[in-house]
Structure formats: C-alpha cells, structure tokens
Structure 1
C-alpha cells in the first residue's frame, strides 16, 4: 500500500481543506500536485463530463448538489495519480458534512439485511435513509 492509499475499512485521515477553499480551489491545488495530468483527464477518469468539471473549476456552476459518488470518483482518480486527498476535503469544499468512514463489514451487513426485507420495507428503508441524509445536509 502506498502513502496515498488507505485500508478501505480504516477511518480516513484528516486533511481539512484550507479555510475557505471551495471545490474550484481544491481541484486547482490537487491538479497542481499532478503536473502531468489535466482537467480533461480527471473528467474522463472520474466519469464526469468535461463541460461540467470545467464549469465547477470556473465557478459558473454550483457545487452544493454534486452527487457524492462523483466526489468519491474524483478522490479515487487523484489517489491513483499519487495525490494525497480524501473524501472529507471534497465534502468540505462543497460545504457539506463529510460521510463517516467506509466500513465494508457494516455495508455488507446492511445489504444482507436489506435483501431479506419485503419490497415495501426495502422502499421504506431507502426513504428513511434519504430523510436522514437530508437532515444531515441541513444541520
């Protein structure tokens, strides 16, 4: 495991974004740490359209509603490129609370429980999770 990789079950190290650093500033800083890489390469590898990424970089498109999986995809790309970053930095840069650490065992258990529920209970569980996420976003 290299210095920029982490055990998937381990809590992510604290890398607080510099005070006031928005997504554009974060991306600019991280891209500077990978001088042979480009915005276009980041967009392609993260599965984001170049136009969208460029709009975030130019601050012409809002970032508060970015899908968390897109943030995670960018983190993964930067890590593959050897740049030390984490999901907490990205969430801070878009002004939302960072998710808890990934715990594969807990996720597997939740999925096993979900699969055992009748369809209506699965739907309710998803709705409850969405409400919890909205409450977390507001507070």
Structure 2
C-alpha cells in the first residue's frame, strides 16, 4: 500500500488542536455538536459501536478549528477528505436525479449510500 507513513492519528491531532487553541475536549465537543464522551473516545482510541467520527463531524472540526485543514483531519481519522461540491454542481446532480424513475432514484440512493459507507470505513 503506497502511503504507509501516516504521521498522526486522530487522538494525536486532537491533542495538538487542544494545545493550539487552548481548549478542552468538552469545548471541542460543544463546538462540533457531539457529547464530550465522544471526543474522549476519539482521544482514547475507543472504537465503540461506530466507525469513528462521521464526515460532518470531521468537517465541523476543520470549520471550528481552521488551523487544521479538512485533508489533515480526515487523514488523521484514516480517511480521504470528500471532494467539494459547489452549488452549481449540486443543482446539476439534483436535476439529473429528478429525471430518473422512482426505481432508478432508489438504486442511485443505494449506490451512493454504499460509496459513502465505504469512504467512512476505508483507510486512506
């Protein structure tokens, strides 16, 4: 596998983030909309029943703490950052989706859900 030298995991990144912004795990949790126990589980590398932070929470970290990029945060979580979606592209995709039959829409939704789940669990 090509890129074996990931320099830090999410626990290490959160420690740097806490030091850089002088914030607690509770403050991080409040600002990204999760329970303090959730951030604590990330810091202590506890997997629990989930697959780690979801895309929205990782993006929230980048938004709330901009000294850390989305790419950097997603890499620490063991994932590749999703590509940006501008409003024009989103509108084109919705227009195409609206032109599909109900069955085709259902199939595309299943396909997109599977791709998202793969991205959530796949390592970079």
Note whether the superposition's TM-score is higher than 0.5: yes
Match of 1:44 in 2: 30
Per-residue CA distance 1:90-131 (angstroms, 9 max, x = gap): 221121222123323212322333344443322211111123
**In the TM superposition, what whole-angstrom CA distance separates every residue of 1:38-79 from its partner, at most 9, and x where no partner exists?**
211110111111101111112233684421111111211113
Q: What does residue 110 of structure 2 align with?
A: 127
Does the C-alpha gap of structure 1 residues 53 and 132 become closer, same or farther in structure 2, counting only changes over 3 Å?
same
Provide the rounded CA distance (Å) in 1 between the counterparts of 2:18 and 2:91: 34
- Call closer, same or farther: CA 1:134–1:46 in 2, change over 3 Å: closer
Question: How is 1:25-64 mapped onto 2 (pairs within 5 angstroms)?
Answer: 25-35=12-22, 37-61=23-47, 64=51
| Residue 61 (structure 2) aligns with | 74
- Structure 2 counterpart of 1:94: 77
**Comparing 103-112 and 46-55, the one that deviates more:** 103-112
TM-score by length of 1: 0.69
| 85 and 104 in structure 1: CA distance in 2 versus 1, 3 angstrom threshold | farther
Normalized per residue, the structure richer in helix is 2
Q: How many residues align?
A: 117
Instruction: Answer 1 or 2: higher relative contact order, Cα 8 Å, separation at least 6.
Output: 1
Match of 1:85 in 2: 68
Mapped pair 1:113 → 2:113? no
Whether the 8 Å contact between 1:44 and 1:50 is mirrored in structure 2 is yes
The offset of 1:138, in angstroms, is: 7.0
Q: Name the TM-score, length of structure 2 as normaliser.
A: 0.76
- Runs (5+) with no aligned partner, structure 2: none
